[in-house]
Amino acid sequence: MAINLEQPKKFKALVAQAHSVASEVFRPNSRHYDQEEHAYPKQLDMLAAVIEGMEAGDPTANAGAAGVRRDESAPKKGKGEVKNGSNLSTVLSIMELCWGDVGLLLSMPRQGLGNSAIASVANDEQLARFGHMWAAMAITEPETGSDSASIRTTARLDGDEYVLNGEKIYVTSGSRADAVVVWATLDRSLGRAAIKSFIVEKGTPGFELARLEEKLGIRASDTAAFTLTDVRVPKENLLGDPEIKPEGGFAGVMQTFDNTRPLVAGMAVGVARAALERTRELLAEAGIEVDYDKPIIAQSAAAAAFIEAEADYEAAYLLTLRAAWMADNTKPNSLEASMAKAKAGRSAVEIALKCVALAGSVGYGEGELLEKWARDAKILDIFEGTQQIQLLIVARRLLGKTSQELK
């Protein structure tokens, strides 16, 4: 099946709307909330409904974020026909919003990574119950970083409830969200097959906010740490299949990443584009011309470096669209999601730092947002799986190796 990576015409209004939010709300408030970490951006409350309206209508839209759901019962499209749906529309809008400010995007109500988990793997009853909530995602633990399969937080079934115990760190929007999707193991001896995700609502006894982190970037977004001490949740709060399946048992949880990794890649693409556009303006003001009709070797060093950065950006952009498009067309996209996340995360950091260097002292000072974008970009290469983890996943997929065969 062919894929056309031009921006679909039906999404042009959506993209324009997202860009308007980014330029009129996010950019003007970007520096303020960077300097006032942990202050909640109240301007975002009125925007929540606008962002929800940007998403294409589908059964997961009420969860606040697009989800990768493989509906095999849906009518099959004719040969050569493709669908541009909620995954692609969400990625495109995220790119625009992060052109404005990635920290503010992460602070948007009901647009948390936990919402993507709910949208991806929740059943219809759970979508109805939790779709209205703002949900954060709690994966990382003090002794469990990128290896999600080694999670130590436990979940024990006791009658009609699961009892959760453990500690979670680096929970984006953790203190502001209505609920947190907590990853825990039903049996540590069974490894990744026993990892499940549970919806824990705020105010649940034993679920305590330990602290808020001070950060390098995305300072408009809160990052929380939690302790779970005999936290009881109804067994219906387990997302997906409660059965432990040694073969493919981790797939339901990992399906969340097939959705959220392209979204994070889209965030990185948006930040990179912001840095490139502003740097080009600064180069023009300095009298440096970027001429696309001339070979790089015939241009100034600054122009050559800028063109190379743009090429890097284009590759990340196209990989990100491909991963989202595959999800919309019910194609397995785990490989492509990791490729997009790896490329976009790394490129955003390299591009932002290169733009700071090209702008000289102007890029290093707080008079421009370039230095802020360089700080914000780094987290996009880390969370939802580090650069190293993404490359490992890509290698396993390409070589046909299991996680045990290639570590």
Q: Assess whether pLDDT exceeds 70 at residue 72.
A: no
Q: What is the mean pLDDT of residues 117-145?
A: 87
**Segment 240-270, tens digit of pLDDT:** 888 887 665 565 566 678 878 999 999 999 9
Q: What pLDDT band is residue 85 in, cutting at 50, 70 and 90?
A: confident
Check 141, 167, 368, 384 and give the catalytic one: 384
| Distance set, CA 332 to CA 1, 70, 367, 381, 397 (Å) | 14, 9, 45, 23, 12
276 dihedral zone (left: phi>0; alpha: psi -120 to 50; beta): alpha
Q: How many CB atoms lie within 10 A of CB 32?
A: 12
Predicted confidence at residue 6, as pLDDT, reads 77
User: What pLDDT does residue 359 have?
Assistant: 97
User: Under a CB-based contact definition with an 8 Å cutoff, are residues 317 and 309 in contact?
Assistant: no
The answer, yes or no, to whether residue 74 has pLDDT greater than 50, is no
Higher pLDDT, 131 or 199: 199
| DSSP β-bridge partners for residue 268 | none
Q: Which domains does the chain have, with CATH numbers?
A: 9-128 (1.10.540), 133-239 (2.40.110.10), 251-399 (1.20.140.10)
270: exposed, middle or buried (C-beta count within 10 Å: 0-12, 13-18, 19+)? buried
* Residue that is written with structure tokens 């219809």 in the block: 124
SS3 85: coil
- Tell me the percentage of the chain whose pLDDT exceeds 70: 87
Backbone dihedral angles phi then psi of residue 181, each to the nearest 5 degrees: -85, 110
pLDDT at 283 over 60: yes
Give residue 122's pLDDT.
86
Which residues, in sequence order, are CB contacts of 69 under 8 Å at separation 6+?
A: 59, 60, 119, 120
d(CA 62, CA 128): 8
* pLDDT tens-digit readout, 203-236: 999 999 999 999 999 999 999 999 999 999 999 9
Taking only the tens place, the pLDDT of each residue in 370-407 is 999 999 999 999 988 899 999 999 999 999 998 889 98
Task: Please report where in the chains the tokens 């040694």 appear, as a residue.
Answer: 246
- The b/e string for 142-171 (b: 16+ C-beta within 10 A; e otherwise) is eebbbebeebebbbeeeeeebbbbbbbbbb
Token readout for 305 is 């470096």
Taking CA atoms, 228 is separated from 194, 214, 308, in Å, by 19, 22, 48
Q: Which of 103, 25, 174, 99 is nearest to 378 (CA)?
A: 103
- Whether residue 66 is predicted with pLDDT greater than 50 in this model: the reply is no
φ/ψ (deg, to 5) at 354: -65, -40
Q: Which residue is listed with tokens 């015409």?
A: 9
Provide the pLDDT confidence category of residue 78 given band limits of 50, 70 and 90: low
Is 384 a catalytic site residue? yes
Residue 165 bridge partners (DSSP): 154
90, 64 in Cβ contact below 8 A?
Answer: no
Distances from the Cα of 10 to the Cα of 176, 200, 349, angstroms: 33, 37, 31
Whether 157 has a pLDDT exceeding 50, the answer reads yes
**CA dist 317 → 213, 333, 381 (Å):** 31, 16, 15
- Taken as a whole, the chain contains a residue count of 407
* Residue 192 pLDDT level (bands cut at 50, 70, 90): confident
Name the nearest CA neighbour of 134 among 169, 177, 73. Answer: 177
Share of the chain above pLDDT 90, in %: 68
